[in-house]
Chain A
Amino acid sequence: MSDLFDHYAAEMAGAAAYDEMFTPEQRLRPAYEQIGQVLDGLSLGDVHARADSMARSFLDRGVTFDVAGEERPFPLDIVPRVIPAEEWAVIERGVVQRVRALECFLDDVHGDQRVVADGIVPRSLITSSAHFHRAVWGFRPAGGVRIHVAGIDVIRDQQGVFRVLEDNVRVPSGVSYVIENRRAMTKGLPEAFMSRSIRAVEAYPRHLYRALRATAPEAAEDPVVVVLTPGVFNSAYFEHALLAGLMGVELVEGRDLVVRGDRVYMRTTDGEQRVDVIYKRIDDEFLDPLHFRPDSVLGCSGLVNAARAGNVTIANAVGNGVADDKLTYSYVPDLIRYYLDEEPVLPNVDTYRLEEPEARAWVLEHLEELVVKPVDGSGGKGLVIGSTATAAELAELRAKVLADPRGWIAQPVLQLSTVPTFADGGFGPRHVDLRPFAVNSGDGVYVLPGGLTRVAMQKGSLIVNSSQGGGSKDTWVLGQPQTQDLDPGRVPPADVDGTVHTWPVSASWQDEGDTGQEQQQQQARAAGTGKGAPC
């Protein structure tokens, strides 16, 4: 390896984590050979220049996320995370399986609750969930799908095993960075793409749009799909705009919508237009002031009634938060066995349920060794890592857990796998996780090859969330030719007679000095083929 990685071996040696690029003996793993060769040819200065240029292009293109009103580019690291085809196949199967099981579970929760009657989960799991909404109990959403889009967070543990860390089936975000990262990487590290086949990611919006249309209310002949955003100040606004743009649909805010007679309309320059499918990117609680927070100005009154009446599809369905609950997460392997009669493809991370007295007592004694998480938190909010917390923080945590055991789970501290990352002027190992995205159209689940790899930019940190200073990496799934993701009909046919079409030039061009000779040659060739002559 080049001297770019001189310090890497030393830093890696001290860590217990699995490194995605190097074996413990400092050998390149096969999937990274191409990356290794390309980086070998670069100096530290080259890497700096490329990283700067990538950041600059993100800023110009507005690939940003919003922190306290300030738009920041989402840091993209120059070293991609590479996943070999056979490993990806496992993740893909595991994600699809999980989405199918959770879809069954959510349907059951909002209906007969067989899962409770059969003793798989306690009734209190459902009734005490902050995201169980009675307003949506007892009906099947139009289109029959509840999880249109899922982001299942996966990590790789010390042994190299992929495990599911959490399920996001409400409004999983980040897919826009998958698309933009790829675009930036083809310009930032073009050499690495040349000999390897890396599966393309640009098909995602097509799959999403198809799924949204497929799940429209039956009465809609030519369904009108919209994306509902909280607005320009939302941290994920860039993503909302990108997805709407790539699907070619309107990006609406709550105030663009109006519900009349249990039907949803948007206000256009041409009067009110019927809306059939709403891809909502706001939390349930803000969706409909009639049923949820009455002070919300982000949603639109009457949406839930319109959905109940079967006149509009809301994606993802209201009430999906029951499945996002981290206590529910601890039951997902059981749910997979119960609903699908299959063994889980991807294991969970070991999880302690703090409402169980024995587990609670043990956890409270071992707080320093564990990660404790609130069940309804996201973005790393409220999470406490025992080994780095102060005594005061642990005391506070203990009190919170005792006051509301249902509200917390505990997990062992996992050494997330590492990937070389350019930070502080050189390459160092940084921890990563992975969020694959799945799209469910009701007749099948599509998993975008790759997903968002988030990386903790701070040395040793396990917190990868963008809101807490994390960055991302392009995720490459190897193995299958890129053309697989293209429609065969879109590949242009080969030129039949194989002739070269030259550029038509005007006569006056020939007199202009140094290019004249070449132009004349082109003219001659053009005359020979009978094509491309001046018109």
Chain B
Amino acid sequence: MTTSTTVPVAAVTPSPREPGSRGARRPLTNLLGYVFSAPYLVFIAVVFAYPLGFAVYMSFHDYFFTAPGVSVERPFVGLANYTDALTDPAVRQSFVNVAVFLVINVPLTVALSLVLATLLDRVVHAKAFLRVSFYLPYLTSSVAVVGVWLFLFNGGGIVNRVLGPLAPDPTWLINEHLAMPSIALFVTWKQLGFYILLYLAALQNVARDLYEAAATDGASRWQSFVNVTIPSLRPATVLVLILSIITGANLFTEPYLLTGGGGPNGASRSPVLVMYQQGIEQGQPGYAAAIGVLLVIGTLVLSYLSNRFAGGDNT
């Protein structure tokens, strides 16, 4: 439900075998299929589809939440919320901000998790220790680790003291140009363990004879990494790409907690933070819903494109 849970692990995995042929060859299993998945479907209908449909409905109205039994006018406004959102400088800026975030976070996540997972895969000693250290930030709630980051990165914090004259001014989180990159770094650090886990899992399935063939051909370690490992991990890479795009699009807690409501000068305001301000603080859920729908569409398009271009032929 939240980004802290995981993964459509199989999202980019070609199913080993599409089970069975279509149709009702076996009426009983057909029925059982519905029975077994009924709780899940009911659940999806109740906690996902209904609120989502409701949100889409709101986005076309000047909506307002009222106490039970109170009726206010909630006129249908067509696309007005959408056109307002697209012309609102604050909303535009938030989408630019999240683009900055993605440009930094996504390549960094893919590169670092790929390299660290490859190294970790070959490690013999202290494997458990290393694994636990890399997963630790992922296991921890943002609320808890944000405090340490504030302690590390504030103006008089230890990072700036170590940097000395190189410390940025204004300092990290209140610097218009560094606020979003700082958040992107934080999120990369926080989520990396999970992506390392994904790559580690995928590495188990890279056929060992491919490496042997490469070694016989006299390839260096680097060459076999580039020519064997990276292509073999392509499905996992697409998954990591898509998941980090989704995480980035849903960014909320970090700018909210790290930069005191999206400052400086709105430079770290994410679309979901704008939704929160508009929908919950300012009582305009229709407008917030329109921003949310735009965000979901944008995320779907980006995910589709990553799959299309990074996925290549073998997915």
A complexed with B: no
- Please list the residues of chain A having a beta carbon within 8 angstroms of any beta carbon in chain B: none
Task: Identify the B interface with A (CB < 8 A).
Answer: none
